[in-house]
Amino acid sequence: MRRPAHRRSFFRKARWLAFVAVAAVLLGGPGDLAGQGRYWSAHEISYPKEAFSKLDTFEANRLNKADNLFLEGSFKAAGAEYEAFAVEFPDSQAVAYAVLRRGRCLQLLHKRFEAMKIYQEVLDYFPNDVTAAGAALYYFALAHQENGDRPKAVRAWQLMADDPGYSRHPLAAGALNGLATQLWDQDDRAAAAKYFRQAAITFRESNSDAVKESITRLLNYHTLFQPDEPALRQLYADLGTFSEQRRPVTPPVEESADYWSVLRERIQRNGQFPESEAKKAVAYYAYWAKAMEGKRAADDDFHIDRIAFQFRADGRRDDLIKRLDDRFAATQKEGDWDRVMKWMRAYAGQADKVDEYYRKLNPARMTNDQIRSAVLLALRDLRNGKLAEILFSKFRLGEWPDERKDGFVEEIVRTELRDLTFDDRSLVKDLCMTYKDRERGLARYLGFCAVRRLYEEGLTIAKQLENSPTHAQEAIWRTGEFLMGLKKYREAIAPFTVSERRPESLYQIAECHVRLGEPDAAIAQLIEVENFFKDRAPEAALKIAFIQRDAGRKPQFIAQLRAVLKKYPKSGQSSQAHQELEKLGVRIGGGMDAES
């Protein structure tokens, strides 16, 4: 069967290029670029498996070889193989893919203008091969973007987005989002939103990264730039939630807890306006307060946010208080302490109202877990250390299981207490002393002392645990830490010597010797690590090098760095040693040189 004239011309050109070895020039430049894998792999397509299975053995082997080189990042070699494939099998169904991939190799070798010539050939000669031609158009745009020519990139992406066939291409998600992003950056957000929506709907099941980006942009657009709750409601229904994966949506969407949870969070995040945009802030919050009216009647959190948005719009504190108080009174039930605390949180920053709602609590009827929640509310949301101390005194500690006390201590440690008047030291100690398992309580307070750097007190607690069958090793280790914290390095060596936490204890002993100005003793400990703990050997060897450096022993420092290179060539420490030697301008030798 005779090929059309334009294809004969194309393949005569390809053969001629191969015979005169021009490919070597076209594909010259950097070698393997596997290190760029994270960037380039996100933009690739593969030859379809079903189509691949229909290739004859010779075609399949040649194409597979080229693909393997490409996936390794060996773009120069892969490009030569793809060109050879096109020359050897000009009638193959895979020839368009091979030509495309040759162009892609050029692009990944930073020969973008030459790559674009290849992409144009794919578009000219294989326009009906949607997989190859669509990818060529996408790469064309990408090359323009990489060249800094944004208008041409936008035009190419526009062609892809608006074509019925190309717009569903696997790479079209990137094209749609790329086009939309360019339009967004040019402040044409309405047009950008159109393409973000197209990407989200079209690639809902096949490209979670593109869908996530599109949803985020659409949420920002329809909350902040063009507030439109009905549009977001429709988007939620069409996508099957705003999460990365589709889920069943139970109508009506306007009553969905998940829908409003995402939307309220986005409204709050986007509602940070500078003083110069006060009018915009008023309009923004007025819109969203009105959009929330009449929905989710039983949802307190929803309506607390709605009332707060209304306050941001009108600024009338008396109305805010009336709305919140009326909402509370309308459905409050006796003994619902969690709901009282919710209103205390809603009134954060208004001391008189916080105090009013605090007086509605009855700690005598609250559970210890509810009191715990109240203490953390006071610390984290209300920033009121005095109130936290009052609430702490209401615990019935004898009734609380030790494991619940453990969790509470951890929560106190994780809470930012800066600028708060709150004596967590004495309160936590009181709590730990009420454990039914006395030693467990002491161990918990020992850990607290370590976090808060209460070294002297920590030593006292550790002494009480030194004979504990369960906690003795913890006490020994903490004793060493506390003595180091007090700069009693000589004394700290003893507990680390008997600690079972090896090799960590050897590192600590070495550090004590370093602090005492005894580098040789420190090195001796690290040699023990290197000899007996093979998984930590590279780390210990490099540490020895730095001890030599800090001791002013430059020749020994260099020799130890070379030893790391020789003994642990595949380790991260070897790479670091290499960098240190380069900084020193030292020749990196091998053999005897590495050991000198």
DSSP, residue by residue, 168-225: GSTTHHHHHHHHHHHHHHTT-HHHHHHHHHHHHHHTTTT-HHHHHHHHHHHHHIIIII
What pLDDT does residue 207 have? 86
> What is the rounded CA–CA span in Å between residue 81 and residue 62?
7
How many whole angstroms separate alpha carbon 220 and alpha carbon 197? Answer: 12
DSSP 3-state percent helix, strand, coil across the chain (nearest 5): 75, 0, 25
DSSP 8-state symbol, 93: T
**Which has more pLDDT, 207 or 22?**
207
CATH of segment(s) 1-148: 1.25.40.10
- pLDDT beyond 50 at 40: no
The per-residue DSSP string of 569-586 comes to TTSHHHHHHHHHHHHHT-
The region that residue 487 occupies, defined by phi over 0 for left and psi between -120 and 50 for alpha, beta otherwise, is left
User: How far is residue 113's CA from residue 115's CA, in Å, rounded to a whole number?
Assistant: 5
Q: What percent of the chain has pLDDT over 90?
A: 77
Least Cα distance to 66 among 98, 27, 30 occurs for 98
Cα gap 431→387, rounded to integer Å: 17
For the record, the structure tokens of 314 come out as: 């009108």
Q: How many helices (H) and strands (E) does the chain have?
A: 34, 0
Q: Indicate the average pLDDT of the chain.
A: 89
Task: Report yes or no: 577 and 561 within 8 Å, Cβ to Cβ.
Answer: yes
pLDDT digits (tens, 9 = 90+) for 434-451: 999 999 999 999 999 999
Name, in order, each residue with C-beta under 8 angstroms of 251's C-beta and a sequence gap of 6 or more: 237
For residue 41, the model assigns a pLDDT of 55
pLDDT band of 100, cuts 50, 70, 90: very high
Predicted confidence (pLDDT) per residue in 259-285, tens digit? 999 999 999 999 999 999 999 999 999
pLDDT at res. 244: 77
With both helix axes pointing from N to C terminus, report the angle between 75-88 and 5-19 in degrees, rounded to the nearest 10. 130
Does the pLDDT at position 35 exceed 80?
no
* Cβ-defined contacts of 572-577 (< 8 Å, 24+): 572/538, 573/538, 573/539, 573/541, 573/542, 574/538, 576/542, 577/542, 577/545
pLDDT at 192 over 80: yes
The tens digit of pLDDT for each residue in 126-137 reads 998 988 999 999
We find that the CATH architecture of domain 149-247+257-267 is Alpha Horseshoe (1.25)
CA–CA dist 430, 433 (Å, integer): 5
At which residue do the structure tokens 């086009």 appear? Answer: 179
State yes or no: pLDDT of 26 exceeds 90.
no
Q: What is the DSSP letter of 468?
A: -
In whole angstroms, give the CA distance from residue 531 to residue 362. Answer: 63
Q: What mean pLDDT do residues 244-255 have? A: 88
